[in-house]
Structure 1
Amino acid sequence: MTDKVSAPIAKKIPHSMTHHGHTRIDNYYWMRDDNRQDAQVIAHLKQENEFTEHHMSAHQSLQDALFEELKGRIVKDDSSVPVKDGAYWYVSDVQGDDEYASHFRATDEQLSDKTLLLNVNELARDYGYYDIGEINISPNDNILAYSEDIDGRRIYSIRFKDLTNNQYLTDVLENTEGQLVWANDNKTVFYVKKDSQTLLGYQVYRHLLGTPQSDDILVYEEQDRQFYMELGKSRDESEIYIHLAATETSDVMVLDANEPQGEFKRLFPRTEGHEFGIDKHAGSYYILSNHQAKNFRLLKASEATIGDISKWQELIAHREHILIEGLELFDSHFVITERELGQIRFVVHNYDGESYHLSFDDECFYAGVGYNPESSASTVRIHYSSLTTPSSVYDCDLKTGRKILRKQQQVLGGFDASNYASKRLFVTARDGAQVPVSLVYHKEKFHKDGTNPLLQYGYGAYGITIDPSFSSATLSLLDRGFVYAIAHIRGSEMLGRPWYEQGKKAHKQNTFNDFVDVTKSLVEQGYADKNKVFASGGSAGGLLMGAIVNQAPQLYLGVGCHVPFLDVLTTMLDESIPLTTNEYDEWGNPNDKTAYQTILNYSPYDNLRQQDYPHILVTTGLYDSQVQYWEPMKWVAKLREVKTDDNLLLFKTDMDAGHGGASGRFKSLQDKALEMTFFIGLLSSK
């Protein structure tokens, strides 16, 4: 029987760490292996996988059925809506059981002369994991560049294909961020190289096609390791940008795209605390800036005034309760993405000062500006979905606002949107804050009498907002009577910039309190049976899961904890670990005593203690570069040591993947089926 199988017990080797006069003993520090080759580490991970597989084998038929259910909702033969970029229309499609898309182009929207550019299935054939980072075609449409990651570490190689003869160039750029920008001469590209230890992109190189990478020229190196780096090109394609972003500060370097041998120069002075986004069109710069504007405002500058912020012209003023999230420039109009009371809207402006709103009807929804490469376009492409509306692509007329539905995701398996209902409500947290919550359920399966199981999801970090969008996978839970809830807790920007700031650094505990208070309220309001509550989160949301099971374990029957950031204090004290220095402004720098104590108070690994914990499923990827595999590995080992219950603690490591989990459109469904089986299995055993 499964209950007689012993869990893997890890050896203990005490490792002492002292900071600010405080000493911690980490018995599982030995599990860290940067090379991922240590025989004892690999053996232990495999034992954990076998233990998980053994326990889940009792529900294998359910897991297989769920996988087929998830897979059965996906249209096997599908294609994207064509998009025009220059002389061509581009489209991607998938066929049959293919895991990956193929990419094509044609000279007309009807795709009458569709030509294959890349078959990703062929590229991925020999790898357990494969990801295309970016596809970027030269300005003259002749050379295709693409980046590939073959182990999930997000270290990309860039390759080039001559589309005039369908032959690959000999050029290969290794150890990159996966992004490149073409100069306007069609033979010079710029790319970001990674630090081999921290995996931080910190150097920009110039490469001339036909030359070896060893001859590439370093054109910029960022000395401050708190900054992330990415490349861009202005809307009018006249300038190449190096965008630099720390958690609370932005910067940009600029180069004339027609003079690739020139030098990148700072567009205006770097100022600590100044965050902005910038683009250029028709000779003017447009800047979304938080200068004297916590929720951002839109400003305009000329080439003569861009260097002096005091001379920038305000186009849209700061508003206390409206967050400006994005800007898309067109020849005739520009489109602003705003968020008010947590809900997205688009405001279309012409350059004469007139504007109107693009609105949607659902109570809980997601909408975002899609790929709009042509500034001369008369429509803006928008992606839309809600908790009950499958993903939809609209082209919206910029002059009239008329929306044309170009495509809606087809959901197989008898899906009928009218069977489901969504709801948006606010929960009062313990300090009086009003926390938004998005709910969805099956109308016939839900009864507001405290009898339904609930799965509550949360993230709550980096200002990232988890909007209520459609998931065909979630239907498998809704059809079995689950209520699904997204708690829009502090740490996101759901309610504007202050909502984010109230959930980070010294205020991080608010994130955990909000999630717990939402759970309690949903139970009290009859949305869930108090004995059938589940929670799930990944990455920083995995930290959230680690915190709530320490602080309120009695509330949850089962928890899904995925690629979780659990050993916060040790990681943030180690500058050799990828992303650490970039995130001091998110979590705090524990080299400061006050920040050290704040993190120590909630760090999931440091706060494990002798008590009962819920049933927990933990997943990670061996090659995760965002949250190293040893964080959940250590946490599971320590939790096995201290927990006082007989509840399941299962740990699965994908030995081929990284932070994003398995690649491919079907293979990735296995992870979803595993978690659902874990939750449903717990209900069946009650």
Structure 2
Amino acid sequence: MKYLLILISLTLIGVGIYFATSDKETSQEEQTLIIETTMNDSQKDKSLKPPVAKKVPHEMTIHDDTRVDDYYWMRDDSRTDAEILAHLEAENDYKEAMLAGTKSLQEKLYNEMVSRLEKDKSTVPYRLGDYFYYVRFQEDSEYPIYARKQGSLEADEEILLNVNELAQGHDYFNVASTEVSPNHAILAYSDDSIGRRVYTLRFKDLSTGQLLPDTLEETDGGAVWANDNETIFYIRRDPQTLLGYQVFRHKLGTDQEADVLVYEETDTTYYTGLTKSLDGSFIKIGHYSTETKGESILDANVPDGEFKKFYPLETGHEYSTYKSGEYFYVQTNKEAKNFRLMKVHQSKHNDFSAWEEVIPHRENTQITDVKAFNDFIALTERSNGLTSVRVMNIEDGSFKSVNFDDPAYAARFSTNKNFDSETLRYTYSSLTTPDSIYDFNMVTGESTLLKQDKVLGDFDSNDYQSERLFIDARDGVQVPVSLVYRKDMFKKNGTNPLYQYGYGSYGATMDANFRSNWLSLLDRGFVVAIAHIRGSQMLGRQWYEDGKMFNKINTFTDFIDVTDGLVEQQYAAKDKVFIAGGSAGGLLMGAVINMAPEKYAGVAAHVPFVDVVTTMLDESIPLTTNEYDEWGNPNNKDSYEYMLSYSPYDNVKAQDYPHMLVTTGLHDSQVQYFEPMKWVAKLRDFKTDDNKLLFHTNMEAGHGGASGRFKRLEQTAMEYAFFLDLLGIND
């Protein structure tokens, strides 16, 4: 039900605004105009009333404990319930009205962020066979164009896929992957026009430009070609849980109903992946849960063959394989918490006694990625939180390394498609250095800069300073922090506002990448900090294990302690701390504001995973059973009680909360929309302050937000304007 403005009442004490229902619709634009012309911002904020959700008590009992959820009714898997949709629209209307005074600031921020982007940006072409493949954007287009040139970069361009054309008529559109057949004749690509990350695979004949009749529905978006150029392997998703669990073999020219099921994962605690070795000789099915990882392999030249386990799955053992010559190189944590590299002849891969150690385990260094070429093995390794890139010559075992200078930075492998290459392509950036693509000559050890992202306008990296700190947590552990500020606007006297970002789950490490959007905060005096809290792998595998399961509370206290440390060291004003996180980072936001709300002036929680216990008890919801080793299985009493102790939704209480902006996508496949919807309703009921609590639902998008490269910046502009407005900054 929409809230409509039907009465403007002038009184002796000021102007009152009343919301009620009416048969006559009043547009949001008309409401906003009336509000802006009859009252100032402070009057408006106090007079506008948020939507009030009804309460329908729903009892849930387990382990002799009964919880009552007044907002359980908000779940609608079909996303068609009129009352729920109307409530979400009412929240959007309220948010718009409350932020009406920031519209010009939002527009300014949006234009700033867009103006920094290279409009006709393109990737560095990579060579595959006789073709150079790349992706580019047109000046004002939202979506990419996939293209190639044959023979040389001076040849005529051949457009493989123009996503702008495919996206016409859709509010949301995403192409997940593109894979060209080994003979370069057919393009397989997958698209999603809803945002649920359930993709349709399509096939394009590149000689005619026509689509083949083959259409594969309900896939995870990936496709792997066998070497016969007519067989494709793909993963099908469960329509309810959205878990990719079945691997099918498809022959071009046949109906999907005729596809052959080659593997089905019956253990719902496992994810399923599908890849191909860089040398093109093997197709691999990945089996992985939080603590176990392994592969099944198939000769890519024998697509009708049977997948066989490379090595039996063992609980707690994680391994990944990389093929070179007759050997598989194996990244394994068997008897090696931070992983070691081993090798085994392809004929003996099932016999662990035949595995030979190539790079031993080290207590202070974690192997994070491996790439196997014909003559070289490339590795990324992390020590003391910083990434290094090393390359080993297979013939003589010698190493060459890439050196980096910034105090905090990010380095990772880029696109490497050529197995016979003598160059390794990698990406480097820092908090002051835009993304840069390099080729590292694995023979000479020299790096060549191929391209650095342009930041248009008056950006000068010398105007900014990054630092890397270690801040003491309450249990004595030191937490790494990467931060950046503008030199001429920073004073280490405790006066600067702080934007603190964190995640801290799944072992995902938020490196110190360059983010041009942050310039809009830095240029207004903010210090921006990334808290590398436990739950990531910033300081190795143990750092992750110390922030999950029964150690999860460390993630939240680390984040709070980083806030305290930055304030104590006078990087920030104690009353100007703003925090942001998304998904599991949204859980982080919810937990810390329950625990220490007084430390934060404003919070942005994007697609937040906040109803931890209820969700993890429901096996029909995506991402539950396969994450028991991350959060715990609440069907077990000890896990239930521990998870209940920090679950943001269950721990909302009568207290003052900071100003909050909460966002979600109606079609979110990772964190269902009803989690943040319920959380906001409960916060409205319990909180004892008059601070803003705004809820934004993108009615056309999913977990990743809007699909266009410019469109998605609108939400970023809204978040920044929300924070800046709280500081009284309107320019």
Tell me whether the two structures share a fold, i.e. TM-score over 0.5.
yes
Alpha-carbon displacement from aligned partner over 1:405-449 (angstroms, at most 9, x marks no partner): 100111012101000000000000000011000010000000000
2:444 and 2:653 mapped to 1: Cα distance? Answer: 61
> Partner amino acid for 2:206?
L
| In structure 2, distance between residues paired with 1:331 and 1:201 | 32
State the partner residue of 1:570.
614
SS class of match (1:126): coil
2:196 to 153, 161, 164: 153
Q: Give the Cα separation in 1 of the matches to 2:287 and 2:195.
A: 24
Shift of 1:234: 1.5
Q: Equivalent of 1:477, from 488, 504, 521?
A: 521
Partner of 2:498: 454
Report whether the alignment pairs 1:373 with 2:414. no
SS of aligned partner of 2:296: strand
Is 1:625 equivalent to 2:625 in the alignment?
Answer: no
Provide the secondary structure at the position in 2 that maps to 1:385.
Answer: strand
> Aligned partners of 1:268 and 1:392: how far apart in 2?
38
Whole-angstrom CA distance in 2 between matches of 1:310 and 1:630 = 51
Matching of residue 398 in structure 1 with residue 442 in structure 2? yes
Q: For 1:171-320, list aligned pairs within 5 A.
A: 171-320=214-363
Report the CA distance shift for 1:578/1:111 in structure 2 as closer, same or farther (over 3 A): farther
What amino acid is aligned across from residue 339 of structure 2 in structure 1? F
Cα drift, residue 331 of structure 1:
1.6
- Relative distance call for 1:157 and 1:111 in structure 2 (3 A) is farther
For 2:303, what is the secondary structure of its paired residue? coil
> Contact 2:294 / 2:320 at 8 angstroms: preserved in 1?
no
Say if 1:111 and 1:569 are closer, same or farther in 2 by CA, change over 3 A: farther
Instruction: Indicate conservation of the 8 Å contact 1:193/1:203, yes or no.
Output: yes
CA deviations 1:625-677 (Å, max 9, x no partner) are 00000000000000000000000000000000000011111001001100000
Aligned to 2:88: 45
Aligned to 1:504: 548
Deviations 1:335-383 (A, max 9, x none): 1110000000011110111112211111111011111100111211011
Q: In structure 1, how many angstroms separate the alpha carbons of the residues matched to 2:455 and 2:225?
A: 38
User: 1:401: Cα distance to partner?
Assistant: 1.6
Amino acid of the structure 2 residue aligned with 1:515: F
Counterparts of 2:247 and 2:594, CA distance in 1: 43
What CA distance in whole angstroms lies between the structure 2 residues aligned with 1:515 and 1:594? 25
| Offset, 1:304 | 2.5
Q: Is the CA contact 1:237–1:257 (under 8 Å) kept in the aligned structure 2?
A: yes
Pairing partner for 2:374 from 299, 309, 331: 331
Tell me the SS of whatever aligns to 2:280. coil
TM-score (norm 2): 0.93
Name the aligned partner's letter for residue 353 of structure 1.
Answer: G
Aligned residue runs from structure 1 range 585-604, under 5 A = 585-604=629-648
Say if 1:82 and 1:109, in contact at 8 Å, map to a contact too: no
Aligned-residue identity in percent: 56
- 2: distance between equivalents of 1:111 and 1:78? 18
Query: Hey, what does 2:161 align to over in structure 1?
Result: 118
CA contact (8 A) 1:550 1:607 kept: yes
Root-mean-square deviation over aligned CA pairs: 0.9
Which residue number in structure 2 is paired with residue 346 of structure 1?
389
How many residues end up aligned between the 2 structures?
Answer: 686
**Correspondence for 2:484:** 440
Stretch moving more, 298-307 or 460-469? 298-307
In the TM superposition, what whole-angstrom CA distance separates every residue of 1:91-122 from its partner, at most 9, and x where no partner exists? 11111110011111111342422111110100
- 2:177 aligned with 1:134: yes
Matched, 1:642 2:690: no
Partner of 1:75 in structure 2?
118
For 1:439, give the aligned amino acid: L
Whole-Å separation in 2 of the counterparts to 1:409 and 1:217: 44
* Match in the other structure for 1:679: 723
Alignment match, 1:428: 472
Q: Which has the larger radius of gyration?
A: 2
1:387, CA displacement in angstroms? 0.1
Find the aligned partners of 2:597 and 2:109 in 1 and give their Cα distance.
Answer: 28
Q: Which amino acid aligns with 1:357?
A: S
Instruction: Give the Cα separation in 2 of the matches to 1:111 and 1:546.
Output: 53
1:128 maps to amino acid: D
Return the letter of the residue paired with 1:505.
Answer: M
Matches within 5 A, 1:644-663: 644-663=688-707
Amino acid corresponding to residue 223 of structure 2 in structure 1:
L
Q: Residue 568 of structure 2 corresponds to which residue in structure 1?
A: 524
Report the residue type matching 2:203 in the other structure. Answer: F
Matches within 5 A, 1:407-418: 407-418=451-462
Which shifted more, 267-276 or 481-490? 267-276
The amino acid that maps onto 1:366 is A
Where 1:77 maps in the other structure, the secondary structure is: coil
1:47-75 superposed Cα distances (whole Å, 9 cap, x missing partner): 00000011111111101100001111011
Partner of 2:129: 86
Partner of 2:22: none
Does the 8 Å contact 1:89/1:111 carry over to 2?
Answer: no
Residues in 2 aligned to 1:359 and 1:287: alpha-carbon distance in whole angstroms: 25
Counterpart of 2:536 (choices 484, 492, 507) is 492
Q: In the alignment, residue 468 of structure 2 is paired with which amino acid?
A: R
State the 4+ residue runs in structure 1 displaced beyond 6 angstroms.
none
Deviation, structure 1 residue 464: 0.2
Alignment of 1:55 with 2:98, yes or no, is yes
Deviation at 1:685, TM superposition (A): 7.8
The runs of 5 or more residues in structure 2 that have no matched partner are 1-43
- State the alpha-carbon separation in 2 of the partners of residues 628 and 662 from structure 1: 16
Contact 1:105 1:111 in 2 (8 A): no
Over residues 286-309 of structure 1, what are the superposed CA-to-partner deviations in whole Å (9 max), with x where a residue is unaligned?
Answer: 110000000000000012321011
* 1:444 partner SS: helix
8 Å CA contact retained: 1:234, 1:281? no
**Normalising by structure 1, what TM-score?**
0.99
Q: Distance in 2 between matches of 1:540 and 1:512?
A: 11
Amino acid paired to 1:605: Y
SS at match of 1:298: strand
- Find the aligned partners of 1:12 and 1:685 in 2 and give their Cα distance: 38
2:420 maps to a residue whose letter is S
In 1, the alpha carbon distance for the partners of 2:112 and 2:479 equals: 33
Are 1:608 and 2:652 matched, yes or no?
yes
Q: CA deviation at 1:574?
A: 0.5
Amino acid at match of 1:438: S
Q: Distance in 1 between matches of 2:387 and 2:167?
A: 37
Task: Provide the C-alpha distance between the structure 1 equivalents of 2:411 and 2:312, rounded to a whole number of angstroms.
Answer: 34
SS in 1 for 2:220: strand
Q: Deviations over 1:507-542 (max 9, x none)?
A: 000000000000001001000010100000000000
* Partners of 2:451 and 2:299 in 1: CA distance: 38
Q: 2:624 aligns with which of 570, 580, 583?
A: 580
- Secondary structure at the aligned position of 1:546 is classed as helix
CA pair 685-406 structure 1, distance change in 2 beyond 3 A:
closer
Conserved? CA contact 2:400–2:442, under 8 Å: no
Report how far residue 268 of structure 1 moved. 1.6
